[in-house]
Structure 1
């Protein structure tokens, strides 16, 4: 027996999955970046996560893993890191056409972590 789903049912499942990812992102921020979570107004948590998903997608990152990595990077470097001149190195990694997006996001995560550690040292 084959089960066929209507387009409406498929869209409903997709919305449920998207909401789960957004909720997981909010929980991730609360757990791993509690000061950032506290800085956001409660009604802005989901908005912030939706903005992260949208921005990640603009660079070709659509898997849950890559979106979470992008989330971490945005929190470490700032929401507009991709447009700030001081983070040109990050934009160069994001837009490098040669490696696969999977490689770029990992390289950017490593570079962002190193930048954050160097900044913490003073």
Structure 2
């Protein structure tokens, strides 16, 4: 059975590394063509590097389990393994039991399918998911969200806007995500109500590590924009680019359907 370890790839040199990357590049381009096209080849290669490293931490070195790990990164975000929205991932990856890589991968696959079925529903094609994200951005109301009651206010709004997923993730997982969102927002000069809420929404839609996700490069690019320093201005720009990114994904999806 072929075993892929980052240290081995480094030792074999650039040819072997590029060969493995090319295989995964082709596979992932077929797995999520819209996202891969929008992010670009260079960012996908960065994601593959990151995925090989993170999978290796959990003892996943065989090609099949590593491939699944990369697929889950595309579905749930590059840092799904530590995301409170997906506690089952950490539980299975950190399970110390004497199980094979293949068995661990099968469990991950089954849990991912269960999450999609219960949190997303029967219409889980990519275009539907993108439209759901756009609707979520549009319908979430911040009119009654206050800094003093940010946690309960956002719990209420998230449950109202995305009830099936809220219920499936569970209130403790959502609370953890909100706390993480506030920390990230403050570190990124997004400390207004709008900025904190937007940070949380991005993490809800793209994964809690989306600010460092190679497949969401527009987030980091936006935050590096030195022309916008005020929290409210940064939040508005980030929201505008979020909609542009989602619309781009829909456009690429439509192109794929026509071709």
In structure 2, the partner of 1:90 is 89
- The 1:29–1:95 alpha-carbon spacing in structure 2 relative to 1, beyond 3 Å, is same
Q: Single out whichever of 65-74 and 10-19 deviates more from structure 2.
A: 10-19
Alpha-carbon distance, 1:13 to partner: 8.2
Aligned residue pairs, count: 113
**1:14 aligned to 12, 16, 19, which one?**
12
Who is 1:64 aligned against? 63
- What pairs up with 1:1-122 in 2 under 5 angstroms? 14-15=12-13, 16-98=15-97, 99-118=99-118, 119-121=120-122
Partners of 1:11 and 1:79 in 2: CA distance = 21
The structure whose RCO (Cα within 8 Å, separation 6+) is larger is: 2
Secondary structure, counterpart of 2:85 in structure 1:
helix
What's 2:187 paired with? none
Unaligned runs of 5+ in 1: 1-9
Contact 1:77/1:112 (CA < 8 Å) preserved in 2? no
Deviations 1:19-41 (A, max 9, x none): 21111111111112112202313
Aligned with 2:36: secondary structure?
helix
Task: Name whichever of 90-99 and 33-42 sits farther off.
Answer: 33-42
* RMSD over equivalenced CA pairs, Å: 2.2
8 Å CA contact 2:9, 2:16 repeated in 1: no
How far apart, CA to CA, are the structure 1 residues paired with 2:113 and 2:20? 23
Q: Deviations over 1:23-68 (max 9, x none)?
A: 1111111112112202313321211111111111111111111111
Structure 2 vs 1, CA of residues 86 and 20 (structure 1 numbering), >3 Å: closer, same or farther?
A: same
Q: Which has the larger radius of gyration?
A: 2
Check conservation: 2:31, 2:71, Cα contact below 8 A: no
Cα separation, partners in 2 of 1:55 and 1:13, compared to 1, 3 Å: closer
Q: Which runs of 5+ in 2 are unaligned?
A: 1-7, 123-163, 165-259
2-structure distance, mates of 1:26, 1:82 = 21
Q: Give the TM-score taking structure 2 as reference length.
A: 0.40
2-structure distance, mates of 1:59, 1:53: 10
> Where do 4+ consecutive residues of structure 1 move more than 6 Å?
10-13
Q: 1:38 to 1:103 in 2, by over 3 A?
A: same
